[in-house]
Structure 1
Amino acid sequence: MNAPTQVPTSRVRRTADVDLADPSFWQLPRPERLSAFALLRELDAPALFTPRTGPHAPFHALVRHADVKAASRQPHLFASAPGVTTPEPARWAKAVFGNSMVNMDGAEHAGLRRTISRAFTPRLLAATEENIRDIARRLVDEMIADGPGDFMPSAPSRMPFEVICDLMGIPGHHRAEIAAQIDQASEYVGVRRRGRARLRVPGRGLRSLGRMQMVMAKLARERRRRPADDVISALVRADVDGQALSSRQLGAFFSLLLVAGVETTRNAIAHGLLLLTAHPEQRALLESDFDRYADGAVDEIVRHSTPIIQFRRTVAAEATLGGRTFVPGEKVMLLYASANRDASVFTDPDAFDITRTPNPHLGYGGGGPHHCLGAHLARLEMKALFHELLTRLGNVRAVGEPVLVDSNFDNRVRSLPFTFDNCHPNGPV
């Protein structure tokens, strides 16, 4: 294991200094927020936070690995409905755009997830795995041609987007429009630094989601007439409990897959380059035997960076967890970013160690019915891209400081300058 990582001294020295409901907390440097989470994990029970302004409800913060995992696996006690983000999606928005699968519980969620899972057939996934390798090679070809610059618009963003578009069967002439709508839908994720400090979370870009769903509805109609070997065709022919999927159900799933699938993997790839740059001994180990260490490297990148910081749950029935009894209607925040640094589970949790084993991180959720449907796909994408980057771009690395988005929802990288010393167009020499 590499030497312990020294976390900078934090201005957050006591639990009284921590207020997760204050937007200014999410503007603190990330090491200070992680120090605050460590303080909260030492409490006897989950702390309660009350927003000072706005209509948002008070919430308890679940910060320990065991508590986040337990709540995730007991949806009958800690429900995803009416919504896992803040603010919760409005009823009219659900009626117009459809309810996202992440906001469902019970039979409704299980039926839709089962139908979607069946659309990802073994044959389709096998073809996708080869396609992922082809996309990774092509994107690195383009990086070699373009030279160093901003890492984010290239491989990190395009890799998951192109993989999902190919898997779903989205024609090339629709992709530029859909990519623009994804950017606009996620534009306000974070906290504004200027003007009134307001938390910005997914759901603000409803107009963009609406435009994207119009494209998807058109594609669904085309696939009903002329099916192809893709996910759209499989879903428009599928049914949930004997009923065909509605346009709203299809649109809500497409939006979730495109926005969530692109953003989370994009950010994990960016943080992966930052971590391998900051820890050259870990990079050297990975390069020494990529096939041996790649899976561990991907899991450790996801644990260390935790692309999704938190989701909310609503208490559905009286429950005792972490030393506190919750009553129906109360809100809890599942802090994955804290759970993944829990010293009771991870030895030297602030260290970046690609040989860490076991590594029961909660970067894809805490298990249970809402465990990330795209986790396997994200792992394949990261492994394929890092293999190409490390074998074909000599000493590829981040340079300068990344521009991060202050957010209480995701660990987003807006821009990241990078460079490399030389390249091997056809692979290592």
Structure 2
Amino acid sequence: MTAVDADAPLAGFDPSDPDILFERMPHEELLTLRRTAPVSWVEQDESARAGFTDTGYWAVSRHADVAAISKDQTNFSTYENGVIIRFAPDMTREELEQTRFLLINHDSPEHTKLRRIISRAFTPRAVGGLHDALKQRAETIVDAALAKDGGNFVTDIAAELPLQAIADLLGVPQEDRGKLFEWSNQMMAYDDPDVEGDQMTAFMEILAYSMAMADDRRRNPQDDIITKLVTADVDGEHLTDDEFGFFVILLAVAGNETTRNAITHGMQAFLDHPEQWELYKRERPDTAVDEMIRWATPVTVFQRTALNDVEIGGQAVKAGDRVGLFYASANYDEDVFEDPFAFDIQRDPNPHQAFGGHGAHYCIGANLARLEVKLIFDALADRDADIRLAGDPVKLRSGWINGVKEMPVSYG
């Protein structure tokens, strides 16, 4: 824990700095922001704001303000600058604007229309229909890992079920799930020098792969979700080939990267709090998954751009200003969560913001993600898994993903 005076303002602190997040989650500094400057201007150098036309952004750290902005489509846009607050230093404005095609970067009414179509893949019936197959997959994944002396928990267990779930959901051949893994890693790890590959190349490769799937289903319809998404319903609504491609890109990242990091951080939390693991094995509380997700906060921040002059938490923000919604701070706000730095799988209520707030951009796959996390930990608990750390976890160097690349463990 870094010693920080929680009652003194910070100077020069950028909570999207990948060097800081590579080492640790800056909870002490975020606590200081919540107490002293809950809406704080962060001035950035040119490399840190690559792709943007301003000099910095407003860091919003309190739960109430993050939640309010998430629900306010009148005053805040995702389209103007996208939701990603920090790109690679060589990002151009033209490249940034290409990301506007992703659903998460749309504003209403286009966002509402596309979300209505895509929601067909995530109805309770669709997600429920995956339960038995995913349960079996989770058990197979866990059994294969536990049969070894040790390994990397991230690739052995945490990454596998999200990838297999995406493949099942979309009808992607399971043998191609490794491609999704590599493409999503390359797209999201542009700040990490240890991850090989080019972001834009991976972007184009997954787009081409997805568009080919969409084209095939139009010519050869099947009883699967791809066909339902790319062929017109009774109202004539469907995704074009490129819209479907951008949906798969979003799903490969949001449905893979974030869920595997929630599982990894959840496992580490149980290892650090063995009494909570014993409690989980005995009682399987329904509240456990959301506490793991709150604790992990896989996406530390998304941004919005102010469309009008507006006041946030007493601070005047001008139209055109970028605003960072720091979920990693909101999810530990002591005004909302009792003893927020305690890992408590019986925490209730738990109004975390880890799925992007509860506005129009609330994660459409939240229930699928919760199911995947639960199935993995149920499989581990059923087998009374004796997993132990065998080395220090290695974090992803990123300005907005709380990622773990490696977590060496022994499997008992």
**TM-score of the pair, normalised by structure 2:** 0.90
Contact 2:18 2:397 in 1 (8 A): no
- For residues 35-74 of structure 1, the C-alpha deviation after alignment (integer angstroms, 9 at most, x for no partner) is 0000001125511011123344311110000000000000
C-alpha displacement at 1:177, in angstroms? 3.1
1:149 aligns to what? 151
Give 1:155's aligned amino acid: I
Give 2:142's aligned amino acid: V
Give 1:65's aligned amino acid: H
Q: Does 1:41 align with 2:34?
A: yes
Counterpart-to-counterpart distance in 1, 2:190 and 2:233: 35
Contact 2:186 2:198 in 1 (8 A): no
Residues 18-417 of structure 1: pairs in structure 2 closer than 5 A: 18-20=12-14, 23=17, 26-27=20-21, 29-30=23-24, 33-43=26-36, 45-54=38-47, 55=50, 56=52, 57=54, 58-82=56-80, 83-87=82-86, 93=95, 99-190=101-192, 205-238=199-232, 242=236, 244-290=238-284, 293=285, 295-417=286-408
Q: Which secondary structure state, in structure 1, belongs to the residue aligned with residue 334 of structure 2?
A: coil
Contact 1:18 1:36 in 2 (8 A): no
C-alpha displacement at 1:182, in angstroms? 2.4
C-alpha displacement at 1:28, in angstroms? 7.0
Counterpart-to-counterpart distance in 2, 1:87 and 1:230: 36
- Judged with a 3 Å threshold, the aligned counterparts in structure 2 of structure 1 residues 35 and 95 are, in CA distance, closer, same or farther, namely closer
Counterpart-to-counterpart distance in 1, 2:265 and 2:217: 37
Counterpart-to-counterpart distance in 2, 1:140 and 1:24: 32
- Judged with a 3 Å threshold, the aligned counterparts in structure 2 of structure 1 residues 240 and 313 are, in CA distance, closer, same or farther, namely farther
Give 2:110's aligned amino acid: E
Q: Which secondary structure state, in structure 2, belongs to the residue aligned with residue 66 of structure 1?
A: helix
- For residues 219-240 of structure 1, the C-alpha deviation after alignment (integer angstroms, 9 at most, x for no partner) is 1122112222322111111469
Counterpart-to-counterpart distance in 1, 2:20 and 2:277: 30
- Judged with a 3 Å threshold, the aligned counterparts in structure 2 of structure 1 residues 189 and 257 are, in CA distance, closer, same or farther, namely farther
| Deviates most, 350-359 or 121-130 | 121-130
- Judged with a 3 Å threshold, the aligned counterparts in structure 2 of structure 1 residues 95 and 41 are, in CA distance, closer, same or farther, namely closer
Counterpart-to-counterpart distance in 1, 2:178 and 2:17: 34
Contact 1:22 1:51 in 2 (8 A): no
Counterpart-to-counterpart distance in 2, 1:324 and 1:266: 36
Contact 1:44 1:323 in 2 (8 A): no
Contact 2:306 2:323 in 1 (8 A): yes
Contact 2:9 2:37 in 1 (8 A): no
Q: Which secondary structure state, in structure 2, belongs to the residue aligned with residue 47 of structure 1?
A: strand
Counterpart-to-counterpart distance in 2, 1:96 and 1:72: 23
Q: Which secondary structure state, in structure 1, belongs to the residue aligned with residue 155 of structure 2?
A: coil
| Deviates most, 15-24 or 108-117 | 15-24
C-alpha displacement at 1:81, in angstroms? 1.2
Counterpart-to-counterpart distance in 2, 1:143 and 1:22: 34
- Judged with a 3 Å threshold, the aligned counterparts in structure 2 of structure 1 residues 224 and 96 are, in CA distance, closer, same or farther, namely farther
Give 1:222's aligned amino acid: D
Counterpart-to-counterpart distance in 2, 1:94 and 1:243: 28
Counterpart-to-counterpart distance in 2, 1:68 and 1:285: 32
| Deviates most, 11-20 or 74-83 | 11-20
C-alpha displacement at 1:21, in angstroms? 6.7
Give 1:210's aligned amino acid: M
Contact 2:297 2:402 in 1 (8 A): yes
In structure 1, runs of 5+ residues without a counterpart are 1-7, 194-199, 422-429
Give 1:26's aligned amino acid: I
**Aligned residues: CA RMSD:** 2.6
- For residues 146-188 of structure 1, the C-alpha deviation after alignment (integer angstroms, 9 at most, x for no partner) is 3321111112111101101111111234333333322322332
- For residues 114-169 of structure 1, the C-alpha deviation after alignment (integer angstroms, 9 at most, x for no partner) is 11102445543222111210110111121133332111111211110110111111
- Judged with a 3 Å threshold, the aligned counterparts in structure 2 of structure 1 residues 174 and 150 are, in CA distance, closer, same or farther, namely closer
C-alpha displacement at 1:411, in angstroms? 0.5
Give 2:29's aligned amino acid: A
Candidates 10, 14, 35, aligned match of 2:3: 10
In structure 2, runs of 5+ residues without a counterpart are none
Give 1:231's aligned amino acid: I
C-alpha displacement at 1:383, in angstroms? 0.5
Counterpart-to-counterpart distance in 1, 2:344 and 2:67: 22
Q: Which secondary structure state, in structure 1, belongs to the residue aligned with residue 378 of structure 2?
A: helix
Contact 1:15 1:40 in 2 (8 A): yes
Count of equivalent residues: 401
